[in-house]
Chain A
Amino acid sequence: MRTRPNYAAGAAALVWLVIIGVPLYALVNTALQPQSKYTDKGPLGLPSALTLENFTTVLDSGFLQYIWNTVFVAAGTVAIVLALGIPISYAVVRGRGLLSRGVFRLFLLGLAIPSQAVIIPLFLIINDLGFYDTLWGIILPTAAFALPVSVLVLSGGMREISTELYEAMALDGARPARTLLTLVVPMSKSAIATTSVFTALQAWNGFLFPLIMTQSDENKLVTLGLYNFVSQYGANVPALLAAVLMSALPILVVYLFARRALVAGLMGAGGK
């Protein structure tokens, strides 16, 4: 179907491009300028001198450790969410009657629990379990709060597997465990990818749990590192923004190499 160009929509999209682009330009621009120069022209001026010294300042302060911690937390969270969420969803989709419905409803309601609302008792629990000021003190609650969305997405994906396939597996004598491994997991690959992307982004973006559950520098995550830089480098704006830029690099790398999976995962979360 041929249509004439939609100029109004195109123009609106360009406006949004400016809204997205200008702050990003200012971010990169400022991070690349020497501290002495940046106040002259404001964030939007053309750079008069470029330097990488801001990045070395940030690296010298141990930022790589924060990035490494964050990667570990994201990977650990995804692993727990998949290990627990896949069997839950399998039981919800293939299980019988009231119980599976009840489990599903519980997680549906769980969707609404704001982590802020329960942070005080959660802090006590993490403390009692001996996980305070460890990366596990961040991973465990982050995983728990990522479970509801994950169960919703995973069970949605599993519901698309046709009953005939389950019956065929059963005729072959497969028990639930084998059905899960040889049928359900391979068939819900895209739901699993969506869940992983989603959970990883949540862990990456996490702020409250790292703020409350950890204390020492060696257990800091990127978001908390940035928060501390505000007071530490308050006056050195180019260094601060260089840290902001560096905090995005790992996700940028993932994006460059796994763009399709990342975007498909996020789009899949919206439903058809």
Chain B
Amino acid sequence: MSTHRVRDRAAPPALERPGVVWALPGLLFFLVFAVAPMAGVLYLSFTHWDGLSSPQFTGAENWSRFFGDSQVWQSTLVTGVLLVGNIVVQAPVSILLGVWSAGHQRNRAVLSAVFFLPLLLSTAATAIMWRQLLDPNFGLPSKVAWLFGTNPLGTQKGGIACLVLVTSWQFVPFHSLLYQGAARAIPHTLYQAAAIDGAGRVRQFFHITLPQLRNTTITSTIFMVVGGLTAFDIVLLLTNGGPGTDTSILPFSMYQTAFRTYDYGYASAIASFLLLLATAASVLLTKLSGFDKMTSTLEGL
């Protein structure tokens, strides 16, 4: 391969193309800081390690503990519920808002600018703000209990609902911006033709808008899934995994196990499992989207 490339340099200029050398620095960087740690975490999952002495190889000990650990399965379940809850709430709202704000009316432009505001706050800022708002004594529940209950963060269901609510509050504006851009790019003639055929607004939405937004839907869903699997800061700051360990999702359990109880070996087993879930989700989504066929990426992202 490489000898060919060297020969290419002497060939007519029209044939000269960038070699893999161009990708090398970035590849190396990515290998060191993202790929090598994946191998590292797999290795560490077979060791006992307190972070100070050197790791002791213990075989499958962590993994047999892992499969018998009901807390891990509860965390997996909560992670899954959060993931699904976030997609179910955010996707429809973002699509509707995005399509709506794609119109060029002035009032829509003004409202869209306001919708954008939560994006200015980091997740940490959002979580802290909402934690105060949801405070049972001084926040909204003390004034509008009919809407929030007396202490929404006090139960598992309430805690999960709050996590979905706050995540949606923060990220629906982001996703609706994606949809807004995509909706603006739909050719107007499609709607004109549909209107001539007598299709109403609802039919137009389902038969033109939604199919035309397919690629954006996939992009946006990938962001939601990856974001959902890594929702750590929101849990730490909004519920701190509580009440008890009721809202402790996988990344949170991993963090607690590693950096609070210094059981890095077992935490690596949890982390490996998280890695497996994320890879499975990503392979599934890239297959569904056709992202892996290089030509279609232009459409997708």
Q: In the complex, which residues of chain A have a beta carbon less than 8 angstroms from the beta carbon of B232?
A: 116, 207-208
> Which residues of chain B in 8-27 are interfacial with respect to chain A, using CB atoms and an 8 Å cutoff?
13-23, 25-27
Q: In the complex, which residues of chain A have a beta carbon less than 8 angstroms from the beta carbon of B39?
A: 121
* A and B contact pairs by CB, cutoff 8 A, 22 listed: A26-B133, A26-B140, A84-B29, A88-B27, A90-B22, A91-B23, A103-B27, A105-B292, A113-B34, A114-B274, A118-B40, A119-B37, A140-B33, A141-B33, A152-B301, A173-B13, A176-B18, A247-B122, A248-B121, A270-B177, A272-B185, A272-B299
| Contact present for B128 and A152 (CB under 8 Å) | no
* Chain B CB within 8 A of A47 CB: no
Q: Once bound together, how far apart are the Cα atoms of A205 and B231, in whole Å?
A: 12
| Contact present for B233 and A111 (CB under 8 Å) | no
Selected contact of A155 from candidates B16, B108, B297, B299, CB within 8 Å: B297
* Chain B CB within 8 A of A3 CB: yes
* Chain A CB within 8 A of B286 CB: yes
| Contact present for B124 and A118 (CB under 8 Å) | no
Chain B 146-184: CB-based contact to A (< 8 A → 1; otherwise 0): 000000000000000000000001001110011111101
Q: In the complex, which residues of chain A have a beta carbon less than 8 angstroms from the beta carbon of B292?
A: 105, 108
| Contact present for B226 and A88 (CB under 8 Å) | no
Q: Once bound together, how far apart are the Cα atoms of A44 and B20, in whole Å?
A: 59
The stretch among A13-21, A48-56, A57-65 that forms the contact with chain B is A13-21
Contacts A23-B130, A116-B271, A244-B121 known; list 7 others, CB within 8 Å: A39-B138, A120-B268, A173-B13, A205-B123, A266-B177, A269-B219, A270-B219
Selected contact of A147 from candidates B18, B26, B282, CB within 8 Å: B26
> Which residues of chain A in 80-95 are interfacial with respect to chain B, using CB atoms and an 8 Å cutoff?
80, 84-85, 87-88, 90-92, 94-95
Q: In the complex, which residues of chain B have a beta carbon less than 8 angstroms from the beta carbon of A144?
A: 29-30, 32-34
| Contact present for A118 and B275 (CB under 8 Å) | yes
Chain A 67-101: CB-based contact to B (< 8 A → 1; otherwise 0): 00000000000001000110110111011100111
Q: In the complex, which residues of chain A have a beta carbon less than 8 angstroms from the beta carbon of B91?
A: none
Query: How many residues on A have C-beta within 8 angstroms of the other chain's C-beta atoms?
Result: 109
Selected contact of A252 from candidates B120, B140, B298, CB within 8 Å: B120
Q: Which residue of B lies closest to A179 (CB)?
A: B18
| Contact present for B138 and A271 (CB under 8 Å) | no
Q: Which residue of A lies closest to B18 (CB)?
A: A176
* Chain B CB within 8 A of A237 CB: yes
Q: Once bound together, how far apart are the Cα atoms of A268 and B301, in whole Å?
A: 8
Selected contact of A119 from candidates B13, B201, B271, CB within 8 Å: B271
With A43-B132, A121-B37: A88-B216 Cβ-Cβ less than 8 Å: no
Chain A 96-140: CB-based contact to B (< 8 A → 1; otherwise 0): 100111011111111111111111111011000000000000001
Chain A 15-38: CB-based contact to B (< 8 A → 1; otherwise 0): 011011101101100100000001
> Which residues of chain B in 197-245 are interfacial with respect to chain A, using CB atoms and an 8 Å cutoff?
201, 215-216, 219-220, 222, 226, 229-230, 232-233, 236-237
List the 7 shortest-distance A-B pairs measured between CB atoms, nearest first.
A267-B181, A270-B178, A121-B40, A112-B282, A144-B33, A118-B37, A84-B26
Q: In the complex, which residues of chain A have a beta carbon less than 8 angstroms from the beta carbon of B180?
A: 267
Interface residue ranges, B against A (CB under 8 Å)? 1, 13-23, 25-27, 29-30, 32-41, 44, 93, 96-97, 100-101, 108, 111, 114-125, 128-133, 138-140, 142-143, 169, 172-174, 177-182, 184-185, 188, 191-192, 195, 201, 215-216, 219-220, 222, 226, 229-230, 232-233, 236-237, 250-251, 254-255, 258-259, 264, 267-268, 271-272, 274-275, 278-279, 281-283, 286, 291-292, 294, 297-301
Chain A 214-254: CB-based contact to B (< 8 A → 1; otherwise 0): 00000000111011011000000100110010011001100
A58 to chain B, nearest CB (A): 13
Q: Once bound together, how far apart are the Cα atoms of A70 and B267, in whole Å?
A: 29
Interface residue ranges, A against B (CB under 8 Å)? 1, 3, 6, 9, 12-13, 16-17, 19-21, 23-24, 26-27, 30, 38-39, 42-44, 80, 84-85, 87-88, 90-92, 94-96, 99-101, 103-122, 124-125, 140-141, 143-145, 147, 151-153, 155-156, 159-160, 167, 170-171, 173-176, 180, 201, 204-205, 207-208, 212, 222-224, 226-227, 229-230, 237, 240-241, 244, 247-248, 251-252, 255, 263-264, 266-272
Q: Once bound together, how far apart are the Cα atoms of A127 and B267, in whole Å?
A: 19
Q: In the complex, which residues of chain A have a beta carbon less than 8 angstroms from the beta carbon of B259?
A: 212
Q: In the complex, which residues of chain B have a beta carbon less than 8 angstroms from the beta carbon of A6?
A: 100, 201
| Contact present for A90 and B33 (CB under 8 Å) | no
With A94-B18, A271-B219, A271-B300: A114-B229 Cβ-Cβ less than 8 Å: yes
With A117-B41, A117-B278, A248-B125: A99-B1 Cβ-Cβ less than 8 Å: yes
B99 to chain A, nearest CB (A): 8
Q: In the complex, which residues of chain A have a beta carbon less than 8 angstroms from the beta carbon of B286?
A: 108
Q: Once bound together, how far apart are the Cα atoms of A116 and B291, in whole Å?
A: 24
Q: In the complex, which residues of chain B have a beta carbon less than 8 angstroms from the beta carbon of A251?
A: 119-120
